[in-house]
Amino acid sequence: MAVVLDPDALMAQARAATGLDDFGDPWFMTPFRKVIELVNAEGGLTKADADPVLLLIGALADRLRMVRYLNENPRVFDEQVDVAAFIIGWPRGGSTLLQRLLCSSPRLTGACWWELLNPLPLTPDLSDDCEDRKHLAVATMNAMYEKWPKMRSQHPLKPFDVDEEVMLFDRSFMSLMWQAYFYIPSYLDWLSGQDQARAYEEMLLWLKIISYQRPDKAGQRWILKSPQHMLAGGLKHAFAAMPGAKAIITHRTLQKVATSYASMIDTTIAQWSATYDPRKYGRDSIRLFQRSVDHFMQVRADPQFADRFIDVRFEDTFERPVDVFGDVLGQLGMQVGEADLAAARAWMDANGRETHPPHTYSPEDYGMTAEEIDAAFAAYHGQYL
């Protein structure tokens, strides 16, 4: 019999863990309760203390800590987070490499994985404990690799390098990742129909909190990255929240993207769900990417967003990364200097793809065929590849 979650009990656990009780504006309660509703209806949860349940409690605890931190540090609201661009995917399309490469420029920055994992001090008085959080991030990474060895090739974790801000959306419960933690196939259908403005507003507030603790980032422009913006139907919300930013899309055949994405989801949720079926999820992933392609094409066709996109091909990112680095900076209105190029070359020398184990996967493992994926996305492939 599946475990049933109680949202009130989870909130009580977060209060007990932090000793705090003010969650602030209750706007998040609707998406939070929706996640719980779908986990109970679809998730087939096998353990009450499964890792994703602990993530729910942790996200609630971070909301409690955030309210206290902002009350004690109101200058956070004055922080300037100048987003130059946000990479919108595709997931498994080279976006991680591109973000980290771009942020090698001394003029660009992003949020490091250790900061996204724990954006607030963990000490009871919320004093600075950056070194402790860095050590905790390394320990967390090692634990994840031990539990999910495939993660080394699927999404290589680098605690001190930049990563996806989607982890910040987790705390709003309007995040792509909840369907990667739990088997809740209806969640993204629901999320893509919601007004996500508050979630984007709060994501930027989390970035201000991170920036406030990192004065070394002052004056740098930010490069963000998350498939959230496309897969959750949030492109227009992203453009509204970051009016000066461009969207970078990493084009890749969706045969590779859909299959690689399914393999990653299989890694994270199979052990916690009695209802998950990898072959059914493969079918769901085709539908997910079809909806996401439609969303992208509709927004791209809107004249008000015509000059807000930068196109990058997956193959180019891997075959001539420093050239792509320079091309993108130019399209962001930045004159590429020798310091930028030297930093990009040095980063590639230290972090090239060959340093990671290969990620192997097959459409048939997830109830798909290469031919039907290609047919489903023929229009997109013909226009952008």
User: Which residues is 85 bridged to in the sheet?
Assistant: 223, 246
Residue pLDDT, tens place only, 360-372? 778 888 888 989 9
Q: Residue 277 has which token pair?
A: 């079926």
Q: Which of 224, 227, 385, 235 shows the shortest CA–CA distance to 314?
A: 385
* Distance of alpha carbon 46 from the chain centroid: 25
User: Which residues is 224 bridged to in the sheet?
Assistant: 86
* pLDDT of the residue at 264: 82
* pLDDT of the residue at 62: 97
The set of residues, in sequence order, having a beta carbon less than 8 Å from that of 143 and lying 6+ positions away, is: none
Residues of the chain with pLDDT under 70: 353-359
Residue pLDDT, tens place only, 135-154? 999 999 999 888 888 777 77
* pLDDT of the residue at 125: 78
User: Which residues is 251 bridged to in the sheet?
Assistant: 313
Backbone angles phi, psi at 384, to 5 degrees: -120, -5
Q: Work out the number of other CB atoms within 10 angstroms of the CB of residue 320.
A: 12
* pLDDT of the residue at 297: 95
Q: Which of 81, 285, 281 shows the shortest CA–CA distance to 168?
A: 81
Has this prediction a pTM greater than 0.75? yes
Q: Which CATH number is 83-384 given?
A: 3.40.50.300
